[in-house]
Structures are given as C-alpha cells and as structure tokens.
Amino acid sequence: MDRAEKRDFVDLLNKVFAETSMVVVSRNDGLTVADVSELRRRMRAAGAQYKVAKNRLAHLALAGTRFDGIKPLLKGPTALAWSHDPVAVAKTAVEFAKINEKFVLVGGALGTQMLDASGVKALAELPSLEELRARLLGMIQTPATRIAGVLQAPGGQLARVFGAYAKTGEAA
C-alpha cells in the first residue's frame, strides 16, 4: 500500500468506527483463503463486515472514536468485524469460532463498553434484533387475536343454537 491508499483506508475505518455500534477483534492466524471467504460470506449474510487490518493503521483509525479502548487487543495477526446490530456480528463470530479452531475471538467493544472474549460470547447468546422484533410483534398481536375471539364467540354460539333449533324443527 502506498501512502494515499493507507490514508484512504484509515479514513474508511475511522468513518466505520463513527457509525457502527459493535466491533469484534479476532485473531486469524493460520486461516486459509477459503476459511476467510466463508467467514466474510457469513458476516455479509448477517449484515456485518469483516476486514483484516494492519494494527498500526487500525490504531490511527481508532484515535478519537468511542472504540479507542480496543487498541490493546490489536497485537499480532488481527482482524476486525463490525455491525450496527451488535448481536449479529457477535453471533456470527462465535459460531465461526466453534467450527474453526484457528479463528480465535480476542474481544471487542459495544459502544464505549469493552468486552473480552467471554463478553462477546455472552452477547452472542442474546436474541438478535430481528428475533426481538418478531417477539414484540407477536406480543402486540396476541391481545388483538384474543379480543377478536371473544367478540366472535357470542355470534358463533347463536349460530349453533339456531342450527340446533332448525334440526329439531326438521326432525319434528
């Protein structure tokens, strides 16, 4: 990379750190190109991004952001993953770490809150934003369904009573 490319990369990372809510730091020592491609595919599917970054450039990009506290985690061959949905990026990283022992979670940050590897794993166990929305929608719809059932019950009972009278009238 020449100086202009490095400057552009630092600006890109700085912009990402300003807009995102969660950053996961991982060690990717020994991952094959196929492994990294699979991880990137999974991250994209979850709405997250994964980037291998030189530690010095990442340090420059972190300066002045709320994720400044992850600088000590950036030692050795590290990579960064980020997303607006904190659970999605953590869940994807933890699931990939389970199937590939060369991918090691180092830690991360949720806003200004620093997380170690166990913190990222705990975050991954939470339901995702989409799951929470579905649960909330289900909770909102349940009372409406119950009200509709209560309102329909008297009409249904009347129809059954009239039907029974009609059958007894036909039989007589």
Domain boundaries, the chain: 3-126, 128-172
3-state secondary structure of 30: coil
Q: What is the DSSP string of 71-139?
A: GGG--SSEEEEEESSHHHHHHHHHHHHHH-TT-EEEEEEETTEEEEHHHHHHHHTSPPHHHHHHHHHHH
Q: Which residues of the chain have pLDDT under 70?
A: 144-158, 171-172
The pLDDT of residue 150: 61
Question: Phi and psi for 77 in degrees, rounded to 5?
Answer: -75, 95
pLDDT tens digits, one per residue of 67-106: 888 888 888 888 999 988 888 889 999 999 999 888 889 9
Which CATH fold would you assign to the domain 3-126? Alpha-Beta Plaits (3.30.70)
Question: What pLDDT, on a 0 to 100 scale, did the predictor assign at position 152?
Answer: 67
Output the pLDDT for position 96. Answer: 93
pTM over 0.75: no
d(CA 38, CA 133): 28
pLDDT at res. 42: 92
